[in-house]
Structure 1
């Protein structure tokens, strides 16, 4: 997807992908990463997700990347944290206690800037990207996080029935994208109650990538 697509969605408030509550699959399965408190968790394409609040409340540090500055201003407002804002050559950096968010193109963020990553929580990044971008994204993510283990949430539905995002990412594709350096384990695979966007039958899946 082009950057303008996401900027327009945030500008118009067309953010149906934003969940109003903490994702229950995060709460149920995050422990599978076996990370001690104070570990640093990367949340790619994070938006203003309430999942960040949950991670902070559990005692983790959070680093995120997001294209929309609108989203990140709203995120820090939700958290009640006045951000410190720095200009980088390829992004802006919003910071607060235990939280660093890069605002810009994730593909321009490098490992040195990102810093230590102990685990990745990908709920809305891989599924937000069309097929040609998913391989580039997965390779870049592995490179900048030094292949940190991941908790990945995906959807499996008939792509011809509805255009993404979110896009359908089937099990075979997860294997193709990650099996060279990870052992993907399917932790959860159940029908999404009410369907995707209330219209399309879909399974929601949770993967552990170690």
Structure 2
């Protein structure tokens, strides 16, 4: 569902919020960094780097940390004292400055529904890591053309076209066009 949190930006607000929120939930539950790392299937070095604001962490690893802490993904990345309905946080940047993913907000579902806007510059690509079983995505293209590349097929979506699929698999968003593709993405957990 997610790829790289923009830690390459030393002033990333999303990374700062994740660092603060992970530390808060970990300490609230009386967990060491070692124990949280074990529960999340990550290294202690990753947890330490995240809490220090220096880790280059994938968004799927943040999902694993949220699961290990018993909280939602949005609980880790939203600004403190912010309501889930208005997060507006840049969560991913591509090779081009025109490529980015913004988590707009989230609402309860069986677990949670997240609303994102995405811009993917010409020639850029986002490679997702598989989510846990039960995760789904809903995509609708608002400008340009977007290819969603799965293991055995590629779906090309033009303006107004949509796709609904399980995100418990490898997939990628690819813009092979000449203009920036814009799309809205719902993540259902």
Q: TM-score, normalised by structure 2?
A: 0.32
Q: Which has the higher contact order (CA 8 A, sep 6+)?
A: 2
Give the number of the structure whose residues are more often helix, by fraction: 1
Q: TM-score, normalised by structure 1?
A: 0.30
